[in-house]
Amino acid sequence: MSSTTNDDPLHATGDELPELELNDEDILDAMRHIPGYLDISTEDFRAIYHLAHTHALERLFRRVHATHLMLPDIQPLYPDTRLDVAAQQMVAQGRKSLPVVDENNCVTGMLTETDFLRRLQVDSFLELLLQLVTDQSRFTHRCHETQVCEAMTAPAITIAEQAGFREILHTFHRHEGRSMPVVDDQGHLKGLLLRKDFIKAHHLEALL
């Protein structure tokens, strides 16, 4: 079968849902395995396949919402948390990014590993390691004196807890991050949706 044009299965365009594209050889081979005579063109066969695929996904996933796939027990960060403390919390939770919330538990931003590197003015963790060897005190001071609100990405791209397959797909399509905060109607944090969990739950690994 022909390959997809993008390595990320979430990068479907428009209202198209990710699927494997059939070429004429695929279709003709399938038709040869159907007993009897099949009076249908390859274009008609392909059109039926695309429609059936879309309807099947809609049927299978219409009841799946972000709240079913999210990690519910995330400990968020706060704007005035120091970067060194934030790093400790991210490591303790095994996360590469964490949502930042205000005193009302409303999401105000997202702190990622990339934000750390940007704030510390390095391009990679290897460069960070090398500079720590030569001048650890400078980085220690910067992390201790910098608050999360100074380094985080804001505003955060969030997803509603009742968002379905299509909305999640399209949001991840325009969002390059590994995860998104899941929020209720008032913007309160409810959990964290990981890109890898969404891909795995919908068996999209086969398109990679």
**CATH assignment at residue 155:** 3.10.580.10
pLDDT digits (tens, 9 = 90+) for 166-181: 888 889 888 878 899 9
Q: Report whether pLDDT(31) > 80.
A: no
If one compares 30 and 135, the residue with the highest pLDDT of the two is 30
Predicted TM-score (pTM) of this structure: 0.67
Average pLDDT of 47-60?
A: 77
Q: What was the pLDDT predicted at 136? A: 64
Q: Could you tell me if 40 and 120 lie in one domain? A: no
Tell me the C-alpha distance between 46 and 41, whole Å: 9
Which residues does 69 contact at the CB level (< 8 Å), separation at least 6?
168, 193, 197, 198, 201
Q: Where does a domain end: 23, 44, 62?
A: 62
Percentage of residues in the chain with pLDDT exceeding 70? Answer: 78
Average pLDDT of 145-172?
A: 91
Percentage of residues in the chain with pLDDT exceeding 90? Answer: 36
52 pLDDT band, cuts 50/70/90, is confident
Q: Residue 103 corresponds to which tokens in the numbers above?
A: 């005193």
Q: Could you tell me if 28 and 128 lie in one domain? A: no
Q: Could you tell me if 58 and 70 lie in one domain? A: no
Domain that holds residue 11: 1-62
Tell me the C-alpha distance between 181 and 152, whole Å: 14
pLDDT digits (tens, 9 = 90+) for 100-122: 999 999 999 999 988 988 887 77
Which helix (H) or strand (E) covers residue 190, if one does? strand 189-194
Average pLDDT of 124-144?
A: 70
Q: What was the pLDDT predicted at 108? A: 97
As a three-state string, the secondary structure of 118-172 is HHCCCCCHHHHHHHHHHCHHHHHHHHHHCEHHHHCECCCCCEECCCCHHHHHHHH
Tell me the C-alpha distance between 86 and 97, whole Å: 10
Tell me how many domains the chain contains: 2
